[in-house]
Amino acid sequence: MKLLFVADPLESFKIVKDSTFVMMREAQKRGHTLAVCEPKDLMWQQGAPVTAFVRDVELTGDPTHWFRAEQEAPHERPAALKDFGAVLMRKDPPFDTEFFYATHLLEQAEREGARVFNKPRALRDHSEKLAVMEFQQFIAPTLVTRDGADVRRFHAEHQDIILKPLDGMGGMGIFRVKADGLNLGSVIETLNNHGATTFMAQRFLPEITAGDKRVLVIGGKPVPYCLARIPQNGEVRGNLAAGGLGVAQPLSSRDREIAEAIGPVLAARGLLLVGLDVIGHHVTEINVTSPTCFQEITDQMGFDVAAMYIDALEASLASS
C-alpha cells in the first residue's frame, strides 16, 4: 500500500524523537511504500482531483542520511490523493489559517475517495484547548473568554490560575498567576490583545510537579503507558519543548478511566490518534493534530507504539 504523509519538511525531523518518523519506519517494515509532502504542496484545480506534489521516499536505516528521495524540489511529482491507500495528516501545530485551509482540501479529497487520518473535519472540530470542555466530568475549573473582568472574577475565586492562548503549542504563551495577582492585568492584555482575542484560564493543578502526562489513544484504545513530562528548573510547564523531563510510566487507574471514556467518542468521529494531556486527575488538553511521544514511551517501556498505530490504521482501512 502507498502511504502519503503530509508533514513538516523531512529535513527538519529530529528522528531520535519524532513520532512521524517511527510511523514511517514501521509502515516500510511491513512493506508499505512511502511518499511525503507538505501542506503547501496541496492543490485543487477546477475539474481535477485534489493533488499533492510529492516525493517518493525510502528510509535508509542510516541515522545521518536517514531517507532517500526519488524527487527533490522543484521536481516533485503530482499525485491525486485518492490514489493513495491512506493519507496521514501529520503537520505540527499551530492550527493557523493555512492548516485550516489544508483540512478543506483534504476533506474534498475524501469526497473523491481518499482515506485521511485524522479525519479533516474532526481536526477542525476539535480545538486542542477547547475540546476538553465537552468532557466536563474530567476537567478542572476552566474559563474561556476574551473579557478581562471574567478572568479577574475567576482568579478571585480560584486564587492560583494558569492562563494560555488557544492556539499555542509546546508550552508557549502559558502564564501562572498566584494569589497575589501580580501582573494579572499585563497577562490579560498580552493574551486577549486588549479584548480582541479569546483565551483560556484554568485553576492551577499542583500535581504538575509529578508531570503533565501524555496519554495516547489509538483507535479508541489507550496505549498502556504514558509519558509524564515533569517541569524542571523552576518551570511551571512540563512540555518537552520547554525543557520538561519525559518519564514513561504505566497508566494510572484514573488515566485509564479518562482514556476509556473519551477515546471511543473521538475515534467514532474519525480521530484515529489522540493525545490526552492529564495532570493529576484532570484532562487539560486533547491533542489531535500531530500527537507525539511514541519514541519516548517505546524506548523506556519497550512497548511498540508505532506498531499499535499501524495495526489500527490497517484495521481501519480493511473495515471500510
The residues annotated as belonging to the active site are 129, 164, 214, 229, 237, 277, 285, 287
The string of DSSP codes covering 248-279 is EEEPPHHHHHHHHHHHHHHHHTT-SEEEEEEE
Beta strands of 178-265 (E only): which ranges? 199-203, 212-218, 221-222, 225-230, 245-250
User: The dihedral of CA 18, 213, 287, 129: what is its sign?
Assistant: negative
In whole angstroms, what separates CA 164 from the centre of its chain? 17
Percent helix / strand / coil, the chain, rounded to 5 = 35, 25, 35
Secondary structure class of 173 (helix, strand, coil):
coil
Contacts of 76 (CB under 8 A, 6+ apart): 37, 41, 53, 54, 55
Q: How far apart are alpha carbons 73 and 77 in whole angstroms? A: 10
Amino acid at 245: L
Which H/E stretch holds residue 316? helix 305-319
